[in-house]
A = this chain, B = another copy of it.
Amino acid sequence: MSVLIVGSVALDSVESPAGSVKEALGGAATYASIAARTLHDDVAIVGVVGDDFPEEHVRLLEQRGVNLTGLERAPGRTFRWAGRYHEDTSQRDTLDTQLNVFAHFSPRIPPELRAAELLFLANIDPELQLSVLDQVDDPQMVFCDTMNFWIQGKRNKVLAVLARSDVAFLNDEEARMLTGQPSLLRAASAVQALGPSHVIIKKGPHGAELHSPEGVFYCPAFPVPNAADPTGAGDAFAGGVIGHLAEAGEDSDEEMRRAVVVGTVVASYCVEGFSMSGLLRAGPVTVRERYEELQRMSAIPEP
């Protein structure tokens, strides 16, 4: 199934206890597309970069086989983000955000990508997410992500996106903020009532929860004792989920569970290196190894 991912492409400067990188390849669409491409071959992105965007990053995405037809080059500087992770890498401070060309981004979906079967609206302004939904033909599944900033500032638009989505990715804090429910079980039900049949709550080092019409599935995080850089882990997770479903070609509850486990494993590779270096170590064999390891680590024996 064809996958279209709309979101940010960025240059990230990251400091963590494990080291640092400056202006490395980042952005939600980048992480998600490389993750999805690990599992499935038909993955395209729509995004924008400035005229300063290094050619080597374009080559990396091309070599990884990501369809860049929809990657717009605008005059100006590429979106930049800088952050610093604490000793406990689940905590971070944002040091700098420069939207640059991303401030005026208005996604244009090239005609050949409008028939995409799986559409991922990564975290961008929900008005742009709605404009993408208006441009595509009729995707079989729409996946959306968002963030606190939009939930607080453009709540009605976020609700409009959710109403047109099948699968919502939210972290625990976003799910609580969106619904006012401290219980994640209640928060997920409340999000489902807004539209998406499936809600996937990302809990960082505590794993992920899949809430589907068939019930709830708890997946632990794959343990990474040497987390170098958690940037993009949530996007890599989403890309892994979507890449698996595109490859499987179905969305049964069992397949959705597999997808969440695959996303978890792909995210574990992501956090092991700065920028794309960890993610690029994920491949069909390594993903399957960690999948089976996670299966063993969470197997409850018969009573």
B223 touches A220 (CB 8 A): no
A88 contacts the other chain (CB 8 A)? yes
A217 touches B298 (CB 8 A): yes
Docked complex Cα distance between A292 and B292 (Å): 22
Task: Tell me the A264-303 residues at the B interface (CB within 8 Å).
Answer: 288, 291-292, 294-303
Residues in B neighbouring A291, C-beta threshold 8 A:
300, 303
Contact-residue size bin, chain A (C-beta under 8 Å from the other chain): 35 or more
Give per-residue flags for A246-258: 1 if the beta carbon is below 8 A from chain B beta carbons, else 0: 0000000010011
Of chain B, the residue at the smallest CB distance from A226 is B183
A223 touches B219 (CB 8 A): no
Docked complex Cα distance between A182 and B261 (Å): 24
Residues in B neighbouring A294, C-beta threshold 8 A:
300
Residues in B neighbouring A186, C-beta threshold 8 A:
225
B303 touches A292 (CB 8 A): yes
A150 contacts the other chain (CB 8 A)? no
A295 touches B288 (CB 8 A): no
Q: Which of A218, A219, A225 has most chain B Cβ within 10 Å?
A: A218
Of chain B, the residue at the smallest CB distance from A300 is B295
A164 contacts the other chain (CB 8 A)? no
Q: How far is the CB of A283 from chain B (nearest CB, A)?
A: 14
A225 touches B300 (CB 8 A): no
A218-B220, A220-B220 known; A87+B297 contact, CB < 8 A: no
Known A-B contacts: A258-B303, A292-B303, A295-B300. Give 8 more (CB < 8 A).
Answer: A183-B223, A183-B227, A207-B218, A207-B220, A216-B223, A218-B298, A258-B300, A291-B303
Q: List 13 A-B contacts (CB under 8 A).
A: A88-B182, A184-B205, A216-B297, A218-B220, A219-B300, A257-B299, A257-B301, A258-B303, A291-B303, A292-B303, A295-B300, A295-B303, A298-B300
